[in-house]
């Protein structure tokens, strides 16, 4: 899975006003990000001479603030409440300051796709792996489109068949990050969604990114 990078240069423009003042995001997206942060910050082991009173508070994912936010987002998801665009953008900016931002965002994308795998339509789509190649590919495209519409925050989403691509206009990941690193979240979600549907992991390339002043973000998906 390859993600485009951008060299230092021109700052990206802010998100359109309509996007910033719209309904916002479903809670799935910020919830997955914080769950990924918590997982990465949870110690794999405790050393004998480790002073937990000093080391654990430094791990962001184990603080009460993160736990309370995770609880809040879970309630919001259950109630179908939306999270403001600015709040999700601020959360992404906070993660991007960390040296381990890429694995955190990659894991968040995988979490989102796996969670949607349990929804009735996604469970049905998973049966596509037993269908002929053309039918399986069609099911993968429909499943991916539903996923991106659900976690995109209302931005336009387009899936093409030949070649197999996913397109998003003004995704939050590209608008708040001039380096294009944050888009790895959607790259990972795309990869996991297609893998769950067709039964094998595709190669996903982020070939166009609005953080590089391209017109839209485009991911090419190779399943052969």
CATH of the domain at 164: 3.90.1520
Q: List the one residue out of 184, 197, 8 whose CA is nearest residue 106.
A: 184
In a domain, 124, yes or no: yes
Q: What 8-state DSSP symbol labels residue 99?
A: T
The pLDDT tens digits of the residues spanning 58-106 come to 555 556 788 899 999 999 999 999 999 999 999 999 999 999 999 999 9
Radius of gyration of the chain measured on its C-alpha atoms: 18
- Say which residue, 93 or 139, is predicted with more confidence: 93
Exposed, middle or buried, 57 (CB in 10 Å: 0-12/13-18/19+)? exposed
C-alpha span between 97 and 50 (Å, rounded):
26
End-to-end CA distance of the chain: 14
The pLDDT tens digits of the residues spanning 40-58 come to 887 655 555 555 555 555 5
In a domain, 4, yes or no: no
Could you tell me what percent of the chain has a pLDDT over 70? 73
Do 184 and 115 touch, CB atoms closer than 8 A? no
* Domains contained in the chain, number: 1
In a domain, 136, yes or no: yes
In a domain, 131, yes or no: yes
C-alpha span between 6 and 210 (Å, rounded):
10
In a domain, 216, yes or no: yes
Range(s) of the domain holding residue 153 = 17-44+51-222
């Amino acid at each position: 899975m390859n993600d485009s990078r951008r060299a230092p240069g021109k700052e990206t423009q802010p998100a359109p006003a309509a996007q910033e003042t719209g309904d916002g995001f479903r809670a799935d997206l910020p919830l997955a990000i914080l769950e990924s942060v918590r997982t990465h910050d949870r110690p794999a082991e405790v050393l004998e001479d480790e002073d937990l009173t000093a080391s654990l508070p430094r791990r962001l994912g184990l603080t009460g603030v993160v736990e309370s936010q995770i609880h809040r987002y879970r309630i919001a998801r259950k109630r179908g409440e939306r999270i403001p665009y600015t709040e999700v953008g601020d959360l992404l900016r906070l993660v991007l300051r960390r040296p381990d931002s890429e694995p955190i965002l990659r894991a968040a994308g995988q979490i989102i796709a796996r969670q949607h795998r349990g929804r009735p339509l996604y469970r049905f789509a998973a049966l596509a792996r037993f269908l002929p190649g053309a039918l399986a590919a069609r099911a993968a495209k429909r499943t991916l489109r539903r996923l991106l519409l659900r976690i995109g925050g209302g931005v336009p989403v387009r899936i093409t068949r030949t070649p197999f691509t996913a397109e998003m206009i003004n995704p939050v990941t590209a608008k708040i990050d001039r380096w294009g690193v944050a888009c790895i979240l959607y790259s990972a979600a795309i990869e996991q969604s297609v893998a769950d549907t067709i039964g094998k992991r595709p190669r996903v390339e982020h070939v166009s990114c609005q953080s590089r002043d391209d017109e839209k973000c485009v991911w090419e998906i190779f399943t052969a």
